[in-house]
């Protein structure tokens, strides 16, 4: 799983920062997390292929999280996209997209499947490689976070050893699942002789606009990487609460409570020209905090 940060600003474009958008790539497919203005431009700029984009998740109906969507949908159609696209978003977005397309008499070149987000938590996507689950966070309007889990690929085969023990390749799938192999001569090849421990499941939790709260902690416990918005520094704690946003210190406190490996910060208020202080403030509470910049990549 690879996360690329595109937009990292809140509300409006400022100081060369653009509103929220991230791309998560797993197994050759891309998931877009929020689609702020400039999303399509930033994808091109950072060499991310539209063809790989299969899922778009929109956390809530504030414009800085979806104003890039109509342009992106239209551009993909103009270039003749044929693969289906799955859009998970608050239900109101469906009629907005429909109005934009209908009023221009636009028929997309591909099937756009709209799936409204539920009130609570729900498993949205479940493939052999990964799953996406949404969960409610607390914002001024309904807003969801997303938990993306890359599933374990099972045990790792040691092909040379398999050949040494004369195991047919048709049996490799069972070996990866942990099975032993019984040869025709009755000799049992123990699984650990021909495999080693593989990469376990990997988890990324995306918590877009939210006030500081423990309420969604159960969904983000122990994830490898947590993205938690940090619109303000702690000096503006009161303003943050009033506007249902968080500070860098609060995001770090949540990361600490959730026992994650790494914290990514973003959604900076335009009042801050530079973002170095966000990282400093968060690291005082949680050492592996990163104030994300456009183009940053995180692999897990």
User: Residue 78 CB: number of other CB atoms within 10 A?
Assistant: 11
Looking at 64, 164, 185, 296, which residue is catalytic?
64
Q: How far is CA 164 from CA 69, 85, 179, in A?
A: 54, 45, 17
Can you tell me the distance from the alpha carbon of 137 to that of 159, in angstroms, rounded to the nearest whole number?
46
Query: Between residues 179 and 241, which has the closer beta carbon with respect to Zn ion?
Result: 241
Which residue shows structure tokens 């937009």? 7
Partners of 188 in the β-ladder: 182
Decide if 64 is catalytic: yes
Q: Which is nearer to Zn ion, 155 or 245 (CB)?
A: 245
**Shortest Å, Cβ 78 to Zn ion:** 28
Binding site for Zn ion (CB under 5 A): 10, 62, 64, 209
- Provide the minimum distance between the beta carbon of 230 and Zn ion in the complex, in angstroms, as a whole number: 12
Tokens read off for 240: 């943050």
**CB of 202 within 8 A of CB of 149?**
yes
DSSP state letter for 46: T
Cβ neighbours for 300, distance < 8 A, ≥ 6 positions apart: 1, 2, 3, 150, 202, 204, 224, 225
User: Measured between alpha carbons, how far is residue 127 from residues 95, 102, 130, 251 in Å?
Assistant: 28, 32, 5, 30
Residue number with CB closer to Zn ion (60 or 203): 60
Least Å from the CB of residue 75 to Zn ion: 23
- Provide the minimum distance between the beta carbon of 143 and Zn ion in the complex, in angstroms, as a whole number: 7
Nearer to Zn ion, 22 or 77 (CB): 22
Nearer to Zn ion, 67 or 172 (CB): 67
Kindly list the distances between the CA atom of residue 81 and the CA atoms of 84, 260, 281, in Å, as whole numbers in the listed order.
8, 38, 44
CB 1 within 8 A of CB 299: yes
Q: C-beta of 43: minimal distance to Zn ion in Å? A: 19
| CA-closest candidate to residue 21, choices 33, 3, 29 | 33
Q: Which two tokens stand for residue 251?
A: 């995001």
Residue 279: CB minimum distance to Zn ion, A? 20
Nearer to Zn ion, 70 or 154 (CB): 70
Active site residue ranges: 64
């Amino acid at each position: 799983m690879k996360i690329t940060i595109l937009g990292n600003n809140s509300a409006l474009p400022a100081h060369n920062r653009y509103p929220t958008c991230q791309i998560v790539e797993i197994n050759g497919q891309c998931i877009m997390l929020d689609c702020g203005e400039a999303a399509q431009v930033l994808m091109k700029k950072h060499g991310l292929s539209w063809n790989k984009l299969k899922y778009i998740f929109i956390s809530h109906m504030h414009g800085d999280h979806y104003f890039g969507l109509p342009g992106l949908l239209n551009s993909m159609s103009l270039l003749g996209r044929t693969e289906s696209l799955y859009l998970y978003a608050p239900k109101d977005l469906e009629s907005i997209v429909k109005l934009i397309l209908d009023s221009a008499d636009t028929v997309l070149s591909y099937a756009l499947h709209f799936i409204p987000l539920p009130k609570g938590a729900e498993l949205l996507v479940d493939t052999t490689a990964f799953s996406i689950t949404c969960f409610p966070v607390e914002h001024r309007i309904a807003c969801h976070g997303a938990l993306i889990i890359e599933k374990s690929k099972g045990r790792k085969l040691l092909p040379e050893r398999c050949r040494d023990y004369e195991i047919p390749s048709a049996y490799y799938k069972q070996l990866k699942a942990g099975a032993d192999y019984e040869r025709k001569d009755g000799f049992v090849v123990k699984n650990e002789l021909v495999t080693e421990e593989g990469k376990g499941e990997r988890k990324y939790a995306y918590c877009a606009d939210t006030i500081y709260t423990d309420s969604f902690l159960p969904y983000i416990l122990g994830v490898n990487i947590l993205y938690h918005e940090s619109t303000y520094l702690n000096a503006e704690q009161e303003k943050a609460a009033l506007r249902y946003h968080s500070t860098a210190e609060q995001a770090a406190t949540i990361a600490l409570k959730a026992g994650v490996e790494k914290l990514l910060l973003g959604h900076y208020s335009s009042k801050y020209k530079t973002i170095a202080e966000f990282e400093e403030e968060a690291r005082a509470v949680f050492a592996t905090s990163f104030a994300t910049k456009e183009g940053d990549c995180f692999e897990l």
